[in-house]
Amino acid sequence: MKFALRKYLPSSDSERQSQRLRIYRLLRKFLIGFIVVSLLNGIFSIYFDTPKMSSIRRRNEQIERQYRILDDKILAAERILEDIKHRDNYVYRPLLGIDTLDIDGIYRDYPDSKYAQLGGDRYSPLMIDTWKRLDRLTRRMYLASVSLDATQDLAENKELFSTVIPALWPIDRTKLKYVSDLYGWRMHPKYHVWKFHEGIDLAAPAGTPVYATGNGIVSESKTANGYGKIISINHGFGYTSRYAHLSKQFVVQGDSVTRGQVIGEVGSTGVGTGPHLHYEVRYMGSTVNPINYFNKDMSPEAYIDLVQQLNEKTVEQL
């Protein structure tokens, strides 16, 4: 019985040792194999993508390409907007006689915080830049459309606009003795202090007819301190014209007048140095230089001549 059992047990100590050694060797082989495979995998993945990684990389490249295409499209749209803006400022507005509008001066970028959520990876600068340009384009397009709306409004009423805008000499130029005072700062002839002269003074004999310079409604026909007998005409579109120091008024408040209609006569009522017409043009409540509104019935040369002639005149010569 003792011998039968021995058959199934390691025969001796040395046999047991060699069996243990075999197991160790086997384990060592596995371990080395594992390490080698891991190392190879590591090296491989540095130089070659796994299928998943290469698909991600391909998608990223595609997104990047699409952003570049979008950028090109934004650039093309920006050029079109630039062209519209140019035509608005240099063709339509001068044609209608309105000031140019500086869209770039009005536009302000959104704060950077608006784009914060786009940050954080290697594509963010590209994305943020694209978003900013899109926002800028959208807002500038909106401003351009507002500007064009205003221009269109005027263009539709151009016929009306051209009849109401003050664009005539308020007196017959052959009756004009001289332009006694210009628009702007001057030493007041009576008070001897510097005052802003809000109109232009046209010296002419008393009784010279005074014309309405554009169609409109008489908004006042009264006697005012300093200005004497005065008439104001509201032309619409933000324009008003005023005629002061008159000797006679032929219209009353509420009358509608047409360009060239005689509304009064030159005089010297109110504070003044002699018979002259004080003529003012206001736009949106503020005075403007009336001389810029005399060019309607003048050739460009005659206009330039007049401006030069007036600019050479000094207060002392008056």
Cβ closer to Zn ion: 96 or 244? Answer: 244
Taking the least distance from each CB to Zn ion, the nearer of 70 and 206 is: 206
For Zn ion, the closer of residues 92 and 279 by Cβ is 279
Residue closer to Zn ion by CB (options 189, 236) is 189
Residues 6+ apart with CB under 8 A from 10: 16, 19
Q: Work out how close the CB of 89 gets to Zn ion at its nearest, in angstroms, rounded to a whole number.
A: 34
Report, in Å, the least distance between residue 235 CB and Zn ion: 20
DSSP 8-state class, residue 189: T
Give the nearest distance from C-beta 265 to Zn ion in angstroms. Answer: 17
Asked whether position 242 contacts Zn ion by CB under 5 A, the answer is no
Q: Using an 8 Å Cβ cutoff, are 235 and 241 in contact?
A: yes
CB of 289 to Zn ion, least distance (A): 13
Q: Which is nearer to Zn ion, 201 or 265 (CB)?
A: 201
DSSP conformation class of 202: E
Nearest distance, CB of residue 257 and Zn ion, angstroms: 21
Instruction: Give the residue closest to Zn ion by C-beta.
Output: 278
Give CA 269 to chain center in angstroms.
46
Binding to Zn ion, residues 258-287 (CB under 5 A): 278
Nearest alpha-carbon partner for 317 in 226, 187, 185: 187
For Zn ion, give the closer residue by CB, 93 or 278: 278
Q: For residue 222, what are the contacts with CB-CB under 8 A and spacing of at least 6? A: 229, 230, 253
Q: Which of residues 155-214 bind Zn ion (CB under 5 A)?
A: 201
Least distance (Å) between residue 246 CB and Zn ion: 12
* Total of residues contacting Zn ion (CB under 5 A): 2
Alpha carbon 215 to its chain's center:
32
First to last CA, the chain: 152
Q: What angle do CA 22, 27, 30 make, to 5 degrees?
A: 130
Name the minimum Å distance from CB 214 to Zn ion.
20
Minimum CB separation of residue 311 from Zn ion in Å reads 18
CA 51: distance to chain centroid? 52
What's the burial of 17, exposed, middle or buried (CB within 10 Å: 0-12/13-18/19+)?
exposed
Orientation angle between helical segments 51-87 and 124-156, nearest 10 degrees: 20
Q: How many CA atoms lie within 13 A of 256 on its CB side?
A: 3
Nearer Cβ to Zn ion, position 202 or 251?
202
Question: Which H/E stretch holds residue 78?
Answer: helix 51-87
Among residues 88 and 201, whose Cβ is nearest to Zn ion? 201
Instruction: State the nearest-atom distance from the C-beta of 199 to Zn ion, in Å.
Output: 5
Q: Which is nearer to Zn ion, 164 or 204 (CB)?
A: 204
Taking alpha carbons only, the member of 258, 264, 253, 248 closest to residue 218 is 253
Return residues touching Zn ion (CB under 5 A). 201, 278
